[in-house]
Chain A
Amino acid sequence: MIAHLIAERCTNCAACVAACPALVFDPGETRPVIARADACQTCYLCELACSEDALYVAPENDSHAAPPVTQLIAAGLIGRIRADSGWNDPADSGQLDDYRLLGPLLGAGVDIATQRYMARHAHD
């Protein structure tokens, strides 16, 4: 669930207010307000919408607990989703070039489970 809105980074563009499907944020004078933290669904899409890397969502769907911002920055976890997704790069920079491998890798995992099970039960 939403854990941090980093005041020094926020430009009050309100992209998070518009993006959140659960309306966790309200507009504010100097920056958005986390008005309904408990409505957060841990979807991370506010982080993706934030071009200033000013948000951090904790990974548990029932907890806002997170380390301090300085520690998260040092660990490279602030803004990581946006960077991994390629949203800071031009649209033609190949950020989805590996996406075609999703289906084959999913199927490979299913095959591995099947073969392991068959080997284990070969003498049943």
Chain B
Amino acid sequence: MSVTKTDVLVIGGGMAAAWAAIAAAEAGAHVTVVDKGAMGTSGVTATGGPGHWWVSPDPAERREAIARQTAKAAGLGDPAWMERILDLTWRHLPTIAPYYPFGRDGRGGRFINGVRGPEYMRALRAFAITRGVEIRDHHPALELITDHDGRVIGARGQNLRDGQPWDVRSGAVVLATGGAAFRSGLIGGHGCTGDGHLMAVEAGAHLSGMEFSISYSLSPAWASTRTLPFTGARFYDADGQELDIAPPRTGHLHNQALGAAMLAGTVFADLIDAPRDLPPILRRIQPLTVAAFERRGIDLFRDRFPVRLFGEGTVRGSGGIDLVDDTCGTGVPGLYAAGDAATRELVAGASSGGGAVNSAWALSSGRIAGAAAAAEARREIAYDGVPRALGRAGLRPDGAERDIDTAALIRRAGAAVHDYDKAFWRRESTLATSARVLDDDWQLIAAHGHATGRARVELRAAAAVVATARWVIASARERRETRGLHYRDDARAADPAQARRLLCGGLDDVWVRPLSPAKAEVAA
């Protein structure tokens, strides 16, 4: 296998990856991006339309916005991080102007903070290329490589176009692999299989907040779309009886009411109450959403249609790879994390960072991690000895090789995390059952998983899905209270004594423990 060298290796192809690559290149590094899909169309931003958390630098406005967000974070946010991402987003989002056709704001200026996904990712790709970033599409990473001291010195993976393995050595690595959507069918979320979470833990990093992974979006039953037209929907059962569904703003109650109705039968949406200004311009705002209906011959504002809730996992949750310092370092030398792959509890706490805060986070953490990785690469730390390739489950089985039904493993992991009855009413008994199922599946992959070609990439993705589901379930068991996105049917109130983050990790043996107060103080 040929080995190539670069200063900064960015793994992932969404908005955090792009911003990390741009920032690292601006800091003078040679940057290589490897993505399982293609930068520009990969990930949930490309089919979405991120509004960014956007507050003018006026000190009073910033203070007020941070106070509101701190309250929403339910005791787990960090105002200093919020201030950082507001500042970085305000300064850097406008810099895409040469590549992005900003629309008008209706007051004579440009509308900056909300950007449409396909155009945004097209712009970020062009921006990165202009900065000299080398982009390798369809190059999934399979495992990290360290030196004998545990410093990350690169990654290995596979080129899907020619089937050949690749090996890139770098001065630093940024994991920007996205959140974990557990193959729920969420639009743009197919590649969000927790690959970076698994690679980070294999390298010795920890995760945080994986219990904050209960988020769903409503869509027509036949395909996940954006939710813009549906927020005012009325709901009906199969007999045409209107259902009494608590409105979206009620959070858990809304999900529970819809979930219960969907467990009982097909639920139909009726958009007769949609804002009157919406139908004539929906096509100009979200062309893809219109296509999902028009191509089935359905008038979405007149005809009732069946709906489902699509799981968004940690994509709109807030858990992910723990960050131990203000450079988005993971605690593993040479390894950084950004975007939805990283924990967003610093800015979203126990709440959904969905939409604005997550987008500002992806931009900002991308830029922070990219710049820090470039600085790390400049140190040119030499290594000797034989590099270690860290991947085990799905790549190097402990026992006899066996064919594994990866689709079934992924379905079970998705069911453990996202099935309405398990997710909207988490209880120790069902969580314990899920943990046993997932432990068995993990043992199967770790002991016997082996494949070649594209199947190897899919098997490794299945290992990451199962691993990530185990961390979610273990964290949900440990948080014996209801807080933010995490609802325990057997502990329905918040417990002030549990207003602290939960770290987790481990491969064969999963562990969860509270973030120690000493570390929390250092971080503060």
Q: Which residues of A contact B293 (CB under 8 A)?
A: 59
Q: Tell me if A28 is interfacial: C-beta within 8 Å of chain B.
A: no
CB < 8 Å: which of A21, A92, A100, A103 contacts B46? A21
B114 and A44 contact, CB distance less than 8 A? no
Selected contact of A59 from candidates B46, B106, B295, CB within 8 Å: B295
What's the nearest-Cβ distance from chain B to residue A92, in Å? Answer: 7
Contacts of A107 in B (CB 8 A): 231
Closest chain A residue to B117, Cβ basis: A45
Contact A105 B277 (CB under 8 A): yes
A18 touches B38 (CB 8 A): yes
Minimum CB–CB distance from A100 to chain B (whole Å) comes to: 4
Interface string of A44-76 (1 = CB under 8 A from B): 110011000000011111100010000000000
Q: Are A19 and B231 in contact (CB under 8 A)?
A: no
Which residues of A are found within 8 Å of B232, using beta-carbon distances?
108-113, 116
A104 CA to B178 CA, complexed, in Å = 27
Distance (whole angstroms) from the CB of A84 to the closest CB of chain B: 4
- Which stretch of B67-75, B145-153, B284-292, B502-510 is in the interface? B284-292
Whether B116 and A108, one on each chain, are in contact in the complex, defined by CB atoms closer than 8 angstroms, is no
Min Cβ gap B369→A in Å is 22
Q: Confirm or deny: B41 has a beta carbon within 8 angstroms of a beta carbon on chain A.
A: yes
Contact among A42, A44, A84, A96 for B101, CB-based, below 8 A? A96
- Cβ contact within 8 Å between B283 and A59: no
A5 at the interface (CB under 8 A from B): no
B422 in the interface, Cβ–Cβ < 8 Å? no
Q: A80-B291, A117-B246 are in contact. Are A109 and B231 (CB under 8 A)?
A: yes
**Interface status of B281 (Cβ within 8 A of chain A):** yes
Q: Per-residue CB proximity of A12-30 to B under 8 Å, as 1/0?
A: 0000001111110000000
Q: Which residues from A are CB-within-8-Å of B57?
A: none
**Is B101's CB under 8 angstroms from A91's CB?**
yes
Contacts of A116 in B (CB 8 A): 232, 234, 247, 273
B292–A99 CB distance below 8 A: no
- Check: B103 CB closer than 8 A to any chain A CB: yes
Task: Assess whether A122 is interfacial by the CB under 8 Å rule.
Answer: no
Which residues of chain A have C-beta atoms less than 8 A from B49's C-beta? 99, 102
- Which residues of chain B from 256 to 301 have a CB within 8 Å of any chain A CB? 273-275, 277-278, 281, 283-288, 290-296
Is A8 engaged at the interface, CB distance under 8 Å to the other chain? no
Q: Which of A48, A84, A112 contacts B290 (CB 8 A)?
A: A84
Other-chain residue from A19, A42, A103, A109 in contact with B40 (beta carbon distance below 8 A): A19
- Asked if B223 and A96 make an inter-chain contact with CB atoms under 8 angstroms apart, the answer reads no
| Chain A residues near B160 (CB-CB < 8 A) | 23
| Inter-chain contact B47/A61, CB cutoff 8 Å | no
* B132 CB-CB contact with A under 8 Å: no
- Which among A80, A86, A97, A111 has the greatest number of chain B C-beta atoms within 10 A? A97
> Is A34 in contact with chain B by the CB < 8 A criterion?
no
Q: Which residues of B contact A94 (CB under 8 A)?
A: 103-104
- Max count, chain A CB within 10 A of own CB: residue among B37, B160, B230: B37
Chain A residues contacting B294 (CB-CB under 8 Å) are 77, 80
In the complex where A48-B118, A101-B281 touch, is A110 in contact with B103 (Cβ < 8 A)?
Answer: no
Return chain B residues, CB-CB under 8 Å to A117: 245-247
Docked Cα-Cα span, A109 to B36, in Å, equals: 36
Q: Mark B95-109, 1 if CB is under 8 A from A, else 0.
A: 000000111111000
B55 CB-CB contact with A under 8 Å:
no
With A45-B118, A113-B231, A114-B247 as known contacts, state yes or no: A100 contacts B287, CB within 8 Å. no
Name the residue of chain B whose CB is nearest to the CB of A93.
Answer: B101
Question: How far is B105's CA from A39's CA once the two chains are assembled, in angstroms?
Answer: 39
Contacts of A113 in B (CB 8 A): 231-233, 247-249, 273
Q: Which of B196-243 contact A (CB under 8 A)?
A: 222-224, 227-234
Bound state CA distance, A110 and B251, in angstroms?
Answer: 12
Beta-carbon contact of B244 and A120 below 8 Å: yes
Contact of B185 with A by CB under 8 A:
yes
CB closest residue in chain B, given A100: B111
State whether the Cβ of B379 lies closer than 8 Å to any Cβ in chain A: no
Please give the distance in Å from A106's CB to the nearest CB on chain B.
Answer: 5
Q: Does A43 contact B (CB under 8 A)?
A: yes
A81 within 8 A of B: yes
The answer on a CB contact under 8 Å between A106 and B46 is no
Give the residue of B38, B119, B230, B288 whose beta carbon is less than 8 angstroms from that of A109. Answer: B230
Tell me if B187 counts as interface (CB < 8 A to partner A). Answer: yes
The answer to whether B313 has its CB under 8 Å from any CB of chain A is no
* Beta-carbon contact of A85 and B287 below 8 Å: yes
Asked whether any CB of chain A lies closer than 8 Å to the CB of B482, the reply is no
Chain A minimum-CB-distance residue to B138 = A23
CB-nearest residue of chain A to B228: A106
Given contacts A61-B222, A99-B285, A109 and B116 within 8 Å (CB-CB): no
Extra 20 A-B pairs, beta carbons < 8 Å, given A59-B295, A60-B296, A108-B275: A18-B38, A19-B38, A21-B37, A21-B41, A22-B37, A43-B188, A57-B291, A59-B296, A62-B222, A85-B118, A96-B119, A100-B111, A102-B286, A103-B51, A105-B278, A106-B228, A108-B278, A110-B247, A110-B248, A112-B231
Listed by A's residue number, 23 A-B pairs whose Cβ atoms lie within 8 Å are A21-B36, A21-B38, A43-B288, A45-B46, A59-B293, A61-B222, A84-B284, A84-B287, A85-B116, A92-B101, A99-B111, A99-B115, A101-B281, A102-B49, A102-B228, A102-B285, A108-B277, A109-B231, A109-B233, A110-B248, A110-B249, A112-B231, A114-B247
Residues of A whose CB lies within 8 Å of any CB of B are: 18-23, 41-45, 48-49, 57-62, 66, 77, 80-81, 84-86, 91-92, 94-103, 105-114, 116-117, 120
